[in-house]
A and B are shown apart, each in its own frame.
Chain A
Amino acid sequence: GENVEQHPSTLSVQEGDSAVIKCTYSDSASNYFPWYKQELGKRPQLIIDIRSNVGEKKDQRIAVTLNKTAKHFSLHITETQPEDSAVYFCAASISGNQFYFGTGTSLTVIP
């Protein structure tokens, strides 16, 4: 099955700086790559996603890049704010059938 790895496991940045989280996947058939933000004890919330026919997608301060050849994708958060502090998960899926999650990154934005 699919194996998704995520780095780093923890990340601390100063408010206003950028944060980058990277994921790799193993199954070349995966074609949908969402990113989720999860606050303690709550459900994951989709923040951005990218499909395999696109190399980059941006939504305000959040961007995601995908390198299909290398099987890796990254989340970029610019101008970080304290409310960005949470655990972030990447995931890989084949057309929405079974989602396999990365191990998570605990992001702390220091005011």
Chain B
Amino acid sequence: GAVVSQHPSRVICKSGTSVKIECRSLDFQATTMFWYRQFPKKSLMLMATSNEGSKATYEQGVEKDKFLINHASLTLSTLTVTSAHPEDSSFYICSRSRGNEQFFGPGTRLTVL
């Protein structure tokens, strides 16, 4: 069964609003989780590494103030897209690793009108 869940699976919002996406590790306490963004028919782009109890590590080119990541517990990481705009519309996927293997959440489809 799934070991990583995401909520919501789909969200539509107005431009200028903020959207929070939750990622939960269901079977394992994860000190580290990852957030990806995927455009239609494109690859997964690593946005940031979420670290429990400390600041997230962002990849080059990813705006920290735009994509707020909070990893307050060992099973939950959240991604907040602040002041969302149409160009933020995308498929956001979280994951966590155990050893070398990576387990993905089901993804969240964000559409900003």
By the criterion CB–CB under 8 Å, are A43 and B100 in contact?
no
| Contact between B107 and A41, CB atoms less than 8 A apart | yes
**Interface Cβ pair total, 8 Å cutoff:** 62
Q: Is B34 an interface residue (CB 8 A)?
A: yes
Stretch of B41-49, B66-74, B75-83 on the interface side: B41-49
Decide: B43 and A34 in contact? CB cutoff 8 A: no
Contact yes or no, A42 B107, CB < 8 A: yes
B60 cross-chain contacts in A, Cβ below 8 A? 1
Number of interface residues of A (CB under 8 A): 26
| A6, A41, A103, most chain B CB atoms within 10 A | A41
> In the complex where A1-B59, A41-B109, A98-B49 touch, is A34 in contact with B101 (Cβ < 8 A)?
yes
Residues in A with CB closer than 8 Å to B59 are 1
**Nearest residue, chain A, Cβ from B36:** A101
Query: Would you call B101 and A46 a contact (CB within 8 A)?
Result: yes
Residue interface bits B33-57, CB-to-A below 8 A is 1, else 0? 0101000011111100100000000
Query: Residues of A contacting B8 with CB < 8 Å?
Result: none
Count how many chain B residues have C-beta atoms less than 8 Å from C-beta atoms of the other chain: 26
Q: Complex Cα distance A1/B49, Å? A: 14
Is residue B93 contacting chain A, with contact meaning CB distance below 8 A?
yes
Q: How many Å lie between the Cα of A49 and that of B102 in the bound state?
A: 11
Contact of B100 among A6, A41, A95 (CB under 8 A): A95
- Contact between A98 and B46, CB atoms less than 8 A apart: yes
Which residue on chain A has the smallest CB distance to residue B59? A1
A49 to B45, CA, bound (A): 19
For residue B82, give the distance in angstroms from its CB to the closest CB of chain A. 24
Residues A103 and B34 in contact in the complex (CB < 8 Å), given A1-B59, A32-B100: no
Contact yes or no, A43 B97, CB < 8 A: no
A89 close to B93 (CB less than 8 A):
no
6 contacting pairs across A/B (C-beta < 8 A): A6-B43, A41-B107, A43-B106, A44-B93, A97-B32, A106-B41
A34-B102, A41-B109, A93-B100 given; 10 more Cβ-contact pairs under 8 Å: A6-B43, A32-B100, A41-B107, A43-B93, A43-B104, A44-B104, A46-B102, A99-B95, A103-B42, A104-B43
